[in-house]
Amino acid sequence: MRLVKRTLLIDISNSFTKAAVAVGPRIGRVHRISTSDLKPSALRTLAGKTKPDSVFLSSVVPTKNSAVLAAFPNTVVLGPHLDLGVGIDYPNPESIGADRLANAAACAALYGTPAIVVDFGTAVTFDVLSAKGSYIGGVIAPGLNAMTNYLHEKTALLPLVKLKEPKSAVGRSTIDAMLAGAVHGYRGLIREILSQITAEAFRKKKPVVVATGGDAKLIAGKLAIFDQVDPLLTLRGLLIIADKNTPASF
């Protein structure tokens, strides 16, 4: 019997799949694979030579789950049927994205409630936790890359830009102008949605606001409304749920 449990954590999102082996409470190196290229052999390589004691999967691309199950048949797929450590006050729990459940679990355990989690991915999602620690709903909006990619695809002269902090609010080149519109405009979108959620759902107590996802540092890092920026929030939540749903002895 091992002294420390090894858990393989896999998070399949629309663009990239992230995987890491957690040894006890510590998450190891995070590997990224294009979700379109996800194969059982690649997942076995990520797991390393030591067989994990358990495998937990968060997925928003159901057609790719078979690749994980082929590599690790005993994989536990995250869903509302598991002990999440948070309640669910939502009309159709099965329709909540697995990554959103993992984010809620991590936020409640690590940062407390009430809370709002903003996940900057292919789409940007806002997930709302009540003061009682229940998931009560959220907001879904286009991701930052979706906006810039759309401009490039639908116009003849606008290039595809690599997102970064703009030099100024007034662009003195086409690329600088696009960066200013994307980054400053997106911060405005985030600020307004957070303002509306807070005014409607949190009149008595200010929520903790946590950012995660690929564009979190770029966008949330310059917005004072965020209390935490945690790029590993989804994997942390997956590990917290894994610990709650596996035997103490293995």
Which two tokens mark 49? 């030579």
What amino acid positions are annotated as catalytic residues? 99
SS (H, E, C) 77-132: ECCCCCCCCCEECCCCHHHCCHHHHHHHHHHHHHCCCCEEEEEECCEEEEEEECCC
Q: Name the nearest CA neighbour of 135 among 146, 120, 145, 125.
A: 125
Place of tokens 């005993």: 74
Q: Name the nearest CA neighbour of 104 among 82, 125, 128.
A: 128
Q: Name the nearest CA neighbour of 128 among 11, 210, 188, 236.
A: 210
Place of tokens 């991915």: 121
The DSSP symbol for 225 reads: T
Q: What is the DSSP string of 168-185?
A: -SS-SSHHHHHHHHHHHH
